[in-house]
Chains A and B, each alone.
Chain A
Amino acid sequence: MKAIYKVQGGKLIKVDLTLENNKIKKINITGDFFCHPEEKFEQIEKRLKDTTFEKGFILKKINEVVHQHQLTLVGVSSQDLAETISQAK
């Protein structure tokens, strides 16, 4: 399942994911956005594994990682990421 979303005034997000029983099994988030520190971004993908495929659950997990690792997203927001992921078809 894939989704692509260009944030207004921001950057592009591309999502490629696999579901199993309505839970995210595998997810790859790519795009031309910025995240500091960069190497912590993959924690979002790791944390989303086994998350119910619903925007509210996805956003909660993303926000947890953002706070825990003090991520600064530039050109996209947690909301944008959650929205894009939940739109994957």
Chain B
Amino acid sequence: MILRVLKLQAYPAAMNMAIDEALIESIGKGESPPTLRCYTWKPSAVSIGYFQSLQEEVDLQACKQKNVEIVRRITGGGAVFHDQELTYSIILPDSLVPKDILASYQFLCQALVNTFQKLGLHAQFVPINDILITNQKISGNAQTRRNNCVLQHGTILLDIDVDTMFSLLKVPDEKMKGKIISHIKERVTSIHNQLKRRINSEEIVSILINEFANLLNLSFQEGVLTDKELKRAEELKRIKYLNNDWTGKK
């Protein structure tokens, strides 16, 4: 079995999430091998978790004004502002990861921890789904399982702009917003903050590919989406991810 690696590409939010779902479908049917894709978001976007309330989490007006797209994920977890970051998705048969969900987060996140290590950063996995460097979050991850497949996607923060992030996201108590922003500034970090230099995304991707291949004991091969996957992603984008029935479902 090989690990298919898709080239780093930037997509609009709806297409990013549609590709992920098309992949878990095709890999679940055994039509495609385990796959790692790394991607960015163009334009910047906010993604919300499966169970989050669109109205309560996102300032729709601010997103519109700043040309920030909004998408609901098929995974749970919290709202994320996808801006100066690298996102990955790993989609694979569930036989390749621990059955227990928490253990499988730890297992798959080890590839990221090792990647940070190779960059000279001492990172650690912190349950449920985070990777921290000296108590500051640098990566958040989320999983779904279907068709005997696991999809885990997550972010690697390259840089952060907490003020912009909170101009787009709402907080449970607006009166506490200032305090929450200060708290988040202390609790979140980025590759740039840690290394004090900018790093090429391709460099991180190349390390990440090797680390996932080693972790899974698979050899990797560069590949592309099949025509069927691409067609299905386009369809999911149109009927689901651009549809307010999905985005506003909660």
A binds B: yes
List residues of A whose CB falls within 8 A of some B CB: 4, 9-12, 14, 28-38, 41, 72, 74-75
Q: Is A28 a contact partner of B128 (Cβ separation < 8 A)?
A: no
Please name all residues of chain B whose beta carbon is closer than 8 Å to the beta carbon of A38 when the two chains form the complex. Answer: 50-51, 74-76, 144
List residues of B whose CB falls within 8 A of some A CB: 49-53, 56, 74-79, 101-102, 127-129, 142-146, 172, 250
Please name all residues of chain A whose beta carbon is closer than 8 Å to the beta carbon of B144 when the two chains form the complex. Answer: 36, 38
Number of A-B residue pairs at CB separation under 8 A:
60
Q: Is B52 a contact partner of A75 (Cβ separation < 8 A)?
A: no
Q: Is A33 a contact partner of B76 (Cβ separation < 8 A)?
A: yes
Q: Is A36 a contact partner of B51 (Cβ separation < 8 A)?
A: no
| A10-B128, A14-B56, A28-B250 known; A35-B51 Cβ under 8 A | yes
- Return the chain A residue nearest B250 by Cβ: A30
Q: Is A32 a contact partner of B52 (Cβ separation < 8 A)?
A: yes
Classify the secondary structure of A's interface with B: strand
Please name all residues of chain A whose beta carbon is closer than 8 Å to the beta carbon of B52 when the two chains form the complex. Answer: 30-32
- Return the chain A residue nearest B100 by Cβ: A72
Interface centre among B51, B75, B142, B145 (most CB of A within 10 A): B51
Q: Is A32 a contact partner of B128 (Cβ separation < 8 A)?
A: no
Partner of A29, one of B51, B74, B129: B51
- Return the chain B residue nearest A41 by Cβ: B51
9 new A-B contacts, CB < 8 A, other than A9-B127, A29-B51, A30-B53, are A28-B53, A30-B250, A31-B49, A32-B79, A34-B128, A37-B145, A38-B76, A72-B101, A74-B76
Task: Return 19 A-B CB contacts under 8 Å, by A number.
Answer: A9-B127, A10-B128, A12-B78, A30-B250, A31-B49, A31-B52, A32-B51, A33-B51, A33-B76, A34-B101, A34-B128, A35-B50, A36-B101, A37-B145, A38-B75, A41-B51, A74-B101, A74-B102, A75-B128
Please name all residues of chain A whose beta carbon is closer than 8 Å to the beta carbon of B77 when the two chains form the complex. Answer: 32, 34
Q: Is A34 a contact partner of B75 (Cβ separation < 8 A)?
A: yes
Q: Is A36 a contact partner of B145 (Cβ separation < 8 A)?
A: yes
Partner of B76, one of A9, A28, A34: A34
- Return the chain A residue nearest B52 by Cβ: A30
| A36-B101, A37-B145, A74-B76 known; A31-B172 Cβ under 8 A | no
**Closest CB-CB distance, A85 to chain B, in whole Å?**
14
Please name all residues of chain A whose beta carbon is closer than 8 Å to the beta carbon of B49 when the two chains form the complex. Answer: 31-32
What are the nearest 5 A-B pairs in CB distance? A34-B76, A32-B78, A30-B53, A38-B50, A32-B49
Please name all residues of chain B whose beta carbon is closer than 8 Å to the beta carbon of A41 when the two chains form the complex. Answer: 51
